[in-house]
Amino acid sequence: MPYGYYSYGYGAGLNSLYILLVLVSLALGLATQAYIKKTYRKWSNVRASLPGSGAEVARRMLDEGGASSIGIDRIAGELTDNFNPSDGCLHLSSANFSGASVASVAVACHEAGHAVQAQKGFSMYRLRCSLVPVVSFASNAWMAVLMIGVFMNVMGLVKIAIFLFAATVVFSLVTLPVEIDASRRAVEYLGKYGSGLDQKGARQVLTAAALTYVAAALVSILQLVYLLGQYGDRDRG
C-alpha cells in the first residue's frame, strides 16, 4: 500500500501516528508471512494419507462437490495457488500440483473449496465477486483522487477518495468469511477421506494462510482510520 504517497498527499510529514501505522503494518506483514512459510514447510515434509497428488485430490473434491467442469493446471511460483472463476480453472503452483504432502493437498483442496463455493452459489463468494469491478477501480483510483483533492484544496475530492478507499476495506472484510469457508470445506473433505493427521496439518496450514487476510484487513482498517483522522482535522480547519 502506498504509505509514502499517502502521507505526502496530506503534506503532514512523517508524524508519530503515521510512523506507528507503517511499523505496525510492516510487523504484521512480516510476522504473518514468516508464520505461513514456516507452517507450510513443516507440513510439506509430511506425506498425506490420501492417495494422489494435490491436483488429483483436488480433482476428486471438485467432482464430489459438483464442480466437475472446473479444470486444474500448473502455475509458476510458490504459494501462487488460486481459483479463477473467469476461466473456470484451479491454478496450482508446481509444488502443490504434483506434491503429495499434507501442505500440498491442503492448499489444493482450499482452492477447490472456492470452486465449490462458486458452483453452489455461496452468498459471500457471490458478494465478493460482485464487488471485484468496483474494488478494482477504487484501488487504482483512490490515491490519485486524494492527491488531486489535497493539492487543489478540494475537500469534495478528498471525501470521494476516502469513500473509494473504504470500498477496498469492505472488500477485505468480505474476503475473510469466503476464505474461512473454503478452508472449512477443505479440512472437512480431508477429515472425511484422510487421517486425523491430514486434518490437523491442513487446519494449521490453512489457519496460517487465513492470518494473512486478517492482517491485510486490519492494516486496511488502520489506514482508513488514519485517513479519516487526517481528513477530519483538515475539514474542521
Its sign, for the CA torsion 149, 150, 156, 160, is positive
User: What is the distance between the alpha carbons of residues 142 and 138, in angstroms, rounded to a whole number?
Assistant: 6
Cα 49 to Cα 33, 186, 197, distances in angstroms: 27, 15, 8
Out of 56, 64, 78, 111, pick the active-site residue: 111
Concerning whether 179 is annotated as a catalytic residue, the answer is: no
For the stretch 64-101, what's the b/e string if a residue is b when 16 or more beta carbons lie within 10 angstroms of its beta carbon?
ebebeebebeebeeebebebeeeeebbbbbebbbebbb
Question: Which spans in the chain are helix H?
Answer: 3-10, 16-44, 54-64, 94-98, 102-120, 123-151, 155-193, 196-236
Closest CA to 189 of 65, 68, 98: 65
For residue 132, which amino acid is it?
Answer: V
Counted residue by residue, the chain has a size of 237
Name, in order, each residue with C-beta under 8 angstroms of 177's C-beta and a sequence gap of 6 or more.
Answer: 124
| Residues forming the active site | 111
